[in-house]
Structure 1
Amino acid sequence: MAKLTRSQNDRMVAGVIGGIGEYFNIDANLLRIIWVIVTVFTGFLPGIIAYILLWLILPEE
């Protein structure tokens, strides 16, 4: 099974969403749209904190 890592190839900022997309075999752009929508509807801070934590926790590919 593949390991969940930050993507080197499919990245906009840090490769977090690209890595999640590769792990689950889902289009990263769709995940980015979902991430933005969820972040906006939760008041920005939870989505931003979650992204930063994933950036720090997930190893680079």
Structure 2
Amino acid sequence: MKKVTRSTHDRKIAGVLGGLSEWLGIHSSVVRVLFILFLFPSGMFPLVISYGLLMFVLSNEEDVLIE
């Protein structure tokens, strides 16, 4: 089973959405658009906090490949 990691080559801020798109097997633009679309109705707070937590919880793609 593939592990969710932060992308090192497909990142705009921290690579969280790029890594999530690789794990889901869909284009990263789709994940980014969905993130923006869900950002405003949710009141921004839950998704921004979730993104921030994932920045620290998920390891970089390079770190997983070395192990």
Please indicate, yes or no, whether the TM-score normalized by the shorter chain is above 0.5: yes
Unaligned runs of 5+ in 1: none
Runs of 4+ in structure 1 displaced over 3 angstroms? none
Shift of 1:53: 0.7
Identity of aligned residues (%): 38
- Equivalents in 2 of 1:4, 1:34: separation in Å? 18
Cα-Cα RMSD: 0.7
Corresponding residue for residue 59 of structure 1: 59
Shift of 1:34: 0.3
Q: Which has the larger radius of gyration?
A: 2
Shift of 1:60: 0.6
CA distance in 2 between counterparts of 1:10 and 1:47 reads: 20
Q: How far is 1:3 from its partner?
A: 1.5
User: For residues 39 and 53 of structure 2, what CA distance do their matches in structure 1 show?
Assistant: 14
CA distance in 2, matches of 1:36, 1:53: 17
Give the Cα–Cα distance (whole angstroms) in 2 for the partners of residues 6 and 43 of structure 1: 25
TM-score, with length taken from structure 1 = 0.94
Q: 1:48 is aligned with what amino acid?
A: V
